[in-house]
Amino acid sequence: MRFLTALFSLFPSKSANLFLKLLGHKISWNSKIGLSILYVKSLTLDKNSKIGHFNFFKVDSVKLSNQAVIKNFNFFKGPITLFLGKKSRIGKFNKFTRAYSPITYGNSSLCIEDGTGITYDNFFDLTCSISFGKNSQVAGKGSQFWTHGYMHANSGTERIRVDGDIIIGDNVYVGTRCVFNPGVKVSNAINIGGNSVISKDLTEPGMYVNQSLRYLKKDVQQVRERLTRVHEKHLIEEIYTKNK
């Protein structure tokens, strides 16, 4: 099924739509697929949605709502579900990745709601889920969204991994080259200046700019005590999640 989906997605758009519908995918006749590889289990393309040229998909499912667009040269790989709302948009040269079990566990999704856009050359780590509300914008280029990170012990090889979803609200603007740490939440009506590091929740509407570098007196045991251990079979490392 996945192999045939990938093969038929390389056909001219109208032919691709026909064969993909015959495979059981939900494809509108008004949707368009460029020269892209879609190695997916489930594909839904609503009216006037579009996938451009030279994209690569190796994910579980893709759903584009009415007038949603994925432009060119984007890369999607891993056990991920992808949803784009009405008139949402992913630009060019963006990368969305997730490792497979036993490095990761559970489900992960990328959810981009109505009217939200991601521009050019950004990176999204989908170890955990990332969601965007309505009418938000990842502007410029070079922003990074990390849903996992590490805390090393003071000596030796001991370390733990810390995972957390990233949640971006409605009407949020993200300037160029921002870095989001695991487990952060950005509320509605927030503007983030370029080159900012978002390491904690942003809750008050308004403008945020990069903070000065701070010293935090922490060690790996203190971090363990503040977080929740993930007890999942076959994981290959010690993993914790941030509490909400």
Q: What is the pLDDT of residue 7?
A: 62
Q: What is the pLDDT of residues 106-125, one digit of tens each?
A: 999 999 999 999 999 999 99
pLDDT digits over 122-142, tens only? 999 999 999 999 999 999 999
Task: Please report the pLDDT score of residue 1 as a whole number.
Answer: 67
Question: What is the β-pairing status of strands 159-163 and 239-241?
Answer: parallel
Would you identify the CATH topology of the domain 2-241?
Answer: UDP N-Acetylglucosamine Acyltransferase; domain 1 (2.160.10)
Parts of the chain with a pLDDT under 70: 1, 3-4, 7-14, 18-19, 21, 211, 213, 243-244
> How many C-beta atoms lie closer than 10 Å to residue 59's C-beta?
25
Per-residue model confidence (pLDDT) at position 150: 94
For 142-241, list the strands marked E by DSSP: 144-145, 148-152, 159-163, 166-168, 173-174, 179-180, 185-186, 190-192, 197-198, 206-208, 228-229, 239-241
Hey, which residues does 169 pair with through a beta bridge? none
Give the pLDDT confidence score for residue 174 in this predicted structure.
Answer: 97
Q: For residues 104 and 79, is the Cβ–Cβ distance under 8 A?
A: yes
**Tell me, what's the pLDDT at 25?**
86
Closest of 61, 49, 141 to residue 88, by C-alpha:
49
> Residue 12: what pLDDT?
64
Residues 6+ apart with CB under 8 A from 62: 38, 40, 42, 43, 44, 76, 82
CA-based radius of gyration for the chain: 19
Q: Residue 136 and residue 174: Cα distance in Å, rounded?
A: 8
Per-residue confidence (pLDDT) for residue 119, from 0 to 100? 96
Of 123, 85, 131, nearest in space to 107 by CA: 131
